[in-house]
């Protein structure tokens, strides 16, 4: 590959990686402002956390919708429309006069952001295959994994000079920049002859087959429930760190970003050791690590232990997600080549839907206790472990009739 071509590939990876960071930026950037938003609207922690729930729902549902639309209408037009929608929704969040409208606009913002996540991966699939796709995806994920590190720090930086509304204005500028890059720098990668006619019933049939596949559902739930636990951590720590332990928004952002490092460490470990240790072993190790870390978090929350005693097990809990997600995704996709798009969509949607359910529960007992978060982290870890053993391991020794039928049909 020539130097010029390498630079072109790297530039595309950076641009698509920036699209993939829209999820972390949309979710994480306003986290340091949670206590300020509570005071601004004279509301409760649970209602502010509901704005995160709405965003997660938008991100989840949007992936299904925008992924399908991009297969029918191409990549650029849905991306241009969604980025314009993102700019408007972000400004609407900044101008919201009460918490109800903020929650509603956060759903729209999450829905629009989902296009950046799902279409950036579709573009990569359009352009590359085999080992080239693997190499390109590694670059794209490297950029994407920086989102959880940079977003909360960026949010605290904005809060240092303005109010929480400035965070959403900054997000609108990000959307405007990506709209411009799509308009003038990103070419269409799905020509008209390769586009698919919309077939709603066929899509439903694929989802039905996947949901009857016990092993696929086991991997999907093991990964999805674990990610839901991390969303509970994302929703709860802004109040726990700042209200209970009295840290500043800047310190909170540093603590939060450190767990982004643990996520990268966990996923990188699986990638480096995949030729020596099986994905099944890594998945089990990650689930056990999560259960242990969740138990420690709950214990520290009950005794109201010092901050470091809470930060350390949370670091390992997030690292366990890096291990379990990296191992569970290829295991779930291994036998789904005949409907990989539908399988990837379900694997992407379920975590956001489950996260939307558990996130508001973190604040159910008020802003001055970390016990609900500890219960949720331990509960989701145990539930993910049970999903693995009762769905994956139980079905491992049996032929899966639905899977065999789907293969024969394909």
Q: For residue range 351-395, what is the model confidence (pLDDT) as tens digits?
A: 878 887 887 788 776 667 889 999 999 999 999 999 999 988 766
| Whether pLDDT at 149 is above 80 | no
For residue 43, with 0-12 CB atoms within 10 Å meaning exposed, 13-18 middle and 19 or more buried, which class applies? middle
* Residues 134 and 263 both lie in one domain: no
323 or 291: which carries more pLDDT confidence?
Answer: 291
> Is residue 194, in this structure, part of any structural domain at all?
no
- 0.85 exceeded by pTM: no
* Residues 240 and 327 both lie in one domain: yes
What per-residue confidence (pLDDT) applies to 2? 58
Q: Which residue has the tokens 């296009």?
A: 115
Split at pLDDT 50, 70, 90, the class of 328 is confident
> Is residue 196, in this structure, part of any structural domain at all?
no
Domain count, the chain: 2
* Closest among 246, 254, 249, 227 to 359, alpha carbons compared: 227
> Is residue 156, in this structure, part of any structural domain at all?
yes
Q: Report the alpha-carbon distance of residue 20 to residue 24 in Å, rounded.
A: 8
* Residues 182 and 208 both lie in one domain: no
Q: How much of the chain is helix, strand and coil, in % rounded to 5?
A: 85, 0, 15
* Residues 228 and 80 both lie in one domain: no
Kindly write down the DSSP assignment for every residue of 297-334, as one continuous string: HHHHHHHT--HHHHHHHHHHHHHHHHHHHHHHHHHHHT
Q: Which residue has the tokens 């996520």?
A: 263
Q: Report the alpha-carbon distance of residue 146 to residue 128 in Å, rounded.
A: 23
* Residues 224 and 179 both lie in one domain: no
> Is residue 98, in this structure, part of any structural domain at all?
yes
- Of 155, 189, 223, the residue at which a domain comes to its end is 189
Structure tokens at 129: 């295959």
* Residues 154 and 273 both lie in one domain: no
> Is residue 26, in this structure, part of any structural domain at all?
yes
Split at pLDDT 50, 70, 90, the class of 287 is very high
What per-residue confidence (pLDDT) applies to 333? 67
Q: What is the pLDDT of residues 88-113, one digit of tens each?
A: 999 999 999 999 999 999 999 999 99
Domain that holds residue 141: 1-189
* Residues 180 and 215 both lie in one domain: no
> Is residue 114, in this structure, part of any structural domain at all?
yes
* Residues 381 and 318 both lie in one domain: yes
Cβ-proximal residues to 301 (8 Å cutoff; 6+ apart), any chain: 310, 369, 370, 371, 373, 374
> Is residue 52, in this structure, part of any structural domain at all?
yes
* Residues 288 and 368 both lie in one domain: yes
Q: Report the alpha-carbon distance of residue 54 to residue 50 in Å, rounded.
A: 6
Q: What is the pLDDT of residues 24-44, one digit of tens each?
A: 899 888 888 888 899 999 888
Task: Evaluate whether 154 touches 34 at the Cβ level (below 8 Å).
Answer: no
* Residues 184 and 35 both lie in one domain: yes
* Residues 222 and 287 both lie in one domain: yes
CATH of the domain at 94: 1.20.1250.20
* Residues 228 and 183 both lie in one domain: no
- Of 132, 164, 189, the residue at which a domain comes to its end is 189
- Of 189, 219, 237, the residue at which a domain comes to its end is 189
> Is residue 197, in this structure, part of any structural domain at all?
no
* DSSP conformation class of 114: H
């Amino acid at each position: 590959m020539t130097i010029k071509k390498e630079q072109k590939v790297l530039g595309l990876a950076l641009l698509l990686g920036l699209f993939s960071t829209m999820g972390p930026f949309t979710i994480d950037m306003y986290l340091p402002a949670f206590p300020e938003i509570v005071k601004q609207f004279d509301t409760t922690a649970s209602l502010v956390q509901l704005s995160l729930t709405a965003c997660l729902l938008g991100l989840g549902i949007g992936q299904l919708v925008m992924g399908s639309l991009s297969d029918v209408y191409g990549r650029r037009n849905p991306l241009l429309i969604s980025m314009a929608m993102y700019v408007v929704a972000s400004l609407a969040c900044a101008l919201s006069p009460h918490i109800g409208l903020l929650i509603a606009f956060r759903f729209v913002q999450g829905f629009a952001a989902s296009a950046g996540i799902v279409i950036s991966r579709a573009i990569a699939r359009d352009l590359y295959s085999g080992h080239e796709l693997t190499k390109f995806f590694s670059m794209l994920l490297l950029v994407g994994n920086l989102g959880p590190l940079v977003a909360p720090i960026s949010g605290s930086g904005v809060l240092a000079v303005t109010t929480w509304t400035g965070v959403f204005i900054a997000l609108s500028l990000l959307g405007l920049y990506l709209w411009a890059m799509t308009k003038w720098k990103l070419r269409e990668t799905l020509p008209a002859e390769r586009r698919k006619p919309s077939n709603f019933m066929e899509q439903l049939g694929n989802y039905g087959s996947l949901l009857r596949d016990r092993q696929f559902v086991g991997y999907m739930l093991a990964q999805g429930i674990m990610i839901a636990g991390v969303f509970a951590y994302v929703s709860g720590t802004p109040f726990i760190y700042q209200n209970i332990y009295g840290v500043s928004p800047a310190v909170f952002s540093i603590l939060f970003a450190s767990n982004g490092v643990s996520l990268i460490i966990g996923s990188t470990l699986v990638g480096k050791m995949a030729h020596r240790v099986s994905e099944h072993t890594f998945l089990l190790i990650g689930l056990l690590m999560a259960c242990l870390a969740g138990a420690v978090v709950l214990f520290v929350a009950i005794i109201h232990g010092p901050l470091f005693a809470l930060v350390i097990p949370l670091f390992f809990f997030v690292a366990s997600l890096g291990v379990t997600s990296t191992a569970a995704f290829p295991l779930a996709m291994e036998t789904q080549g005949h409907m990989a798009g539908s399988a990837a969509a379900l694997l992407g949607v379920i975590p956001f839907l489950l996260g939307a359910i558990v996130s508001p529960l973190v604040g159910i007992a008020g802003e001055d206790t970390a016990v609900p978060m500890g219960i949720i982290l331990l509960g989701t870890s145990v539930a993910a472990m049970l999903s693995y053993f009762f769905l994956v391991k139980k079905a491992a020794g049996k032929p899966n009739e639905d899977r065999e039928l789907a293969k024969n049909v394909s």
